[in-house]
């Protein structure tokens, strides 16, 4: 019987200058019971005497991972969160809890679902918060919740592709910010919870755009933001992205020097300018912009400790993102959706070496499918890269699970 827990060294208990929480010393990150699909696959491998693969999948399942809460009545979610909190207390560990129940989450795509409307959602969040109670937890609030906002117009004037006919274009975006702010207020009232909001990842929104959304969502009341959840972007890029978002949030809310920059998150440098997003060697150009405009400002922040911090999902980014093969048909390659040949990334830790990153976490459960990907052939019914239909979102994907352990970086 494998013990499904892993001790993780943590920095000493501290406050970051904004009254928020960092995990205390000598903590453990919680390892939930494994996916039943993982248990079944390991048993099958053992039966076939495929010991190396069985051992590797067991190690993967025995690594601390997040627990996702995605549905149910308020009574259901309160009970489910309480169960996880109780399991964590018994193992003297801190759980990572993901609240994923916004109305029109994922724009009703692969991970469709969520509460019916704002009041129902906030009642669900009230129950989620009651389940956490006074216990210690890291709470990640609504993956994609700020990356995909129905009927939104970005700070740069771009129209959101997500335009559900069921929602009122005049109020849908403001409703999303009401929902997230309401959740932030409830969760940050908990005495021992660290709360992080959706910061997308470095291959998606620009720094100014996501900083503006985070500000509107109330990130100043939270501990920071999370990056790369359910995606594959490299950790080194996320660390830089985190530092830029943190500094852009300060830049766009700094009232000194006449306050001319307040609200101008669009002025912030990003991975898209002056850097070239495809050439990491150019990202120092954006670093220099923040040196000139934040570090060397007339009244600079005293250091990263007073800025919003990030946590990064490293569960599947060991080999970085996938690129569709040359000569692939026209259309969306869905590079985020069950890409082949990916690997586990850095193991969960609360010691990152970055003053802007509080933790590397396994948020997306490695081995669970992203959805039934059809890429550039939506009428084909199968994943054209793999040659067969992928499991539904959240279901166990045995082939991908083996890819992740075989290509783990660092190796298991």
Spans of all domains in the chain: 6-406
What confidence score (pLDDT) does residue 12 get? 34
What confidence score (pLDDT) does residue 23 get? 61
Give CA 206 to chain center in angstroms. 16
Burial (CB count within 10 angstroms: exposed 0-12, middle 13-18, buried 19+), residue 314: buried
Sites in the chain below the pLDDT cut of 70: 1-26, 109-111, 257-258
How confident is the model over 239-276, as pLDDT tens digits? 999 999 999 999 999 887 667 788 899 999 999 999 99
What confidence score (pLDDT) does residue 4 get? 33
Closest by alpha carbon to 138, among 183, 93, 217, 195?
A: 195
Name the pTM for this structure: 0.93
The CATH T-level fold of domain 6-406 is TIM Barrel (3.20.20)
Residue with tokens 């490299």: 234
What confidence score (pLDDT) does residue 108 get? 73
- Calculate the alpha carbon distances from 343 to 203, 218, 315, 336, 354 in Å: 18, 34, 8, 14, 23
Cβ count within 10 A of residue 227: 29
How many angstroms separate the CA atoms of 351 and 357, rounded?
Answer: 9
My answer on whether omega of the bond before 274 falls inside 30° of 0, hence cis, is yes
């Amino acid at each position: 019987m494998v013990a499904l827990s892993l001790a993780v060294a943590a920095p000493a208990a501290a406050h970051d200058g904004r009254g928020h929480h960092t995990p205390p010393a000598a903590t453990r990150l919680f390892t939930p019971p494994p996916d039943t699909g993982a248990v079944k696959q390991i048993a099958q491998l053992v039966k076939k005497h495929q010991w190396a693969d069985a051992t590797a999948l067991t190690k993967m399942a025995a690594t601390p991972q997040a627990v996702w809460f995605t549905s149910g009545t308020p009574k259901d979610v309160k009970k489910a969160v309480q169960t996880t909190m109780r399991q964590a207390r018994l193992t003297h560990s801190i759980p990572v809890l993901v609240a994923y129940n916004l109305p029109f989450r994922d724009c009703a795509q692969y991970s469709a679902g969520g509460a019916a409307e704002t009041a129902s959602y906030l009642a669900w969040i009230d129950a989620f918060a009651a389940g956490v109670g006074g216990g210690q937890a890291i709470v990640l609030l609504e993956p994609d919740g700020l990356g995909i906002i129905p009927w939104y117009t970005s700070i740069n004037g771009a129209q959101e592709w997500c335009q559900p006919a069921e929602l009122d274009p005049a109020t849908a975006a403001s409703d999303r910010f009401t929902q997230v702010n309401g959740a932030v207020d409830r969760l940050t009232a908990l005495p021992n919870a660290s709360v992080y909001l959706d910061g997308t990842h470095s291959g998606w929104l620009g720094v100014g755009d996501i900083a503006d959304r985070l500000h509107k969502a109330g990130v100043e009341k939270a501990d920071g933001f999370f990056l790369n959840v359910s995606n594959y972007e490299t950790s080194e890029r996320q660390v830089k992205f985190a530092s830029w978002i943190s500094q852009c949030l300060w830049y766009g809310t700094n009232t000194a020097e006449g306050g001319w920059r307040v609200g101008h998150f669009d002025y912030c440098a990003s991975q898209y300018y002056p850097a070239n997003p495809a050439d990491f060697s150019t990202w120092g150009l954006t670093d220099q912009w923040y040196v000139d405009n934040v570090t060397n400002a007339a009244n600079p922040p005293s250091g990263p400790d007073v800025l919003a911090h990030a946590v990064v999902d490293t569960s599947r980014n060991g080999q970085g993102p996938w690129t569709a093969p040359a000569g692939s048909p026209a259309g969306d390659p869905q590079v985020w959706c069950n890409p082949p040949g990916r690997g586990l990334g850095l193991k969960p830790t609360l010691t990152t070496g970055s003053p802007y990153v509080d933790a590397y976490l396994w948020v997306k459960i490695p081995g669970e499918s992203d959805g039934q990907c059809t890429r550039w052939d939506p009428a084909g019914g199968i994943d054209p890269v793999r040659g067969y239909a992928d499991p539904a979102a959240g279901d166990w994907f045995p082939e991908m699970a083996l890819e992740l352990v075989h290509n783990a970086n660092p190796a298991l």
